């Protein structure tokens, strides 16, 4: 089954949105396979965002991600990568639809609350980086009520 790496950024933690965000993924029917509150250092954040090195906002982005604890998660389910991006909403909150996490709770792109993997391949890399211990495996007893 497909997995995605989802991270609540420091602003989401500070603003008390952890429960709300987890709830949206849970209610959709996805399964939680990893969850931890952690602070990351500059080298770790730069590694996570290495594909954006050289962007004018890169340094500000790194400062933002290391400014406080984040909630790192693995969510699993059919099409969770693409659907997770829909639940999160467009990168710039001005373009994010109402009903998405960014559309409902964010205003500025540099304070957009949450990260989600943009492809199955990035999810694999990000999960390996953030969860070297690997996902937690369990079988939800709701499986047959969510999948036909």
Q: Which residues sit at the interface with ligand IDP, rule CB under 6 A?
A: 52, 57, 61, 91, 109-110, 112, 115, 118
Does residue 101 contact residue 71 with C-beta atoms inside 8 Å? no
Q: Minimal distance in Å, beta carbon 90 to ligand IDP?
A: 7
Contact call for residues 58 and 66 (beta carbons, < 8 A) = no
* Binding at 61: pick from Mg ion, ligand IDP, none (beta carbon under 5-8 Å per type): ligand IDP
Residue 37: CB atoms within 10 Å: 11
Nearest to 22 by CA among 40, 8, 2, 4: 8
Helices 18-28 and 80-88: angle between axes, nearest 10 degrees: 140
106 binds, among Mg ion, ligand IDP, none (CB under 5 to 8 A by kind): none
Catalytic residue among 115, 116, 123, 126: 115
143 is catalytic: no
Nearest alpha carbon to residue 71 among 133, 145, 30, 16? 16
User: Between residues 122 and 140, which has the closer beta carbon with respect to ligand IDP?
Assistant: 122
Catalytic residues: 115
Q: Which residues are annotated as a binding site for ATP?
A: 9, 57, 85, 91, 102, 112
Q: Which residues are annotated as a binding site?
A: 9, 57, 85, 91, 102, 112
């Amino acid at each position: 089954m497909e997995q995605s790496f989802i991270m609540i950024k420091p602003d989401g933690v500070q603003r008390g949105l952890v429960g709300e965000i987890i709830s949206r993924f849970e209610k959709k029917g996805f399964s939680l396979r990893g969850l931890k509150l952690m602070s990351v250092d500059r080298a770790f954040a730069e590694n996570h965002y290495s594909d954006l090195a050289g962007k004018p906002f890169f340094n500000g982005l790194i400062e933002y991600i290391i400014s406080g604890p984040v909630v790192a998660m693995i969510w699993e389910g059919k099409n969770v990568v693409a659907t997770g991006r829909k639940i999160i909403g467009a990168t710039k909150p001005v373009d994010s639809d109402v009903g998405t996490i960014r559309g409902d709770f964010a205003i500025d792109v540099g304070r957009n609350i949450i990260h989600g993997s943009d492809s199955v391949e990035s999810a694999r890399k990000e999960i390996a980086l953030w969860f070297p211990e690997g996902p937690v495996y369990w079988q939800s007893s709701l499986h047959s009520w969510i999948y036909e």
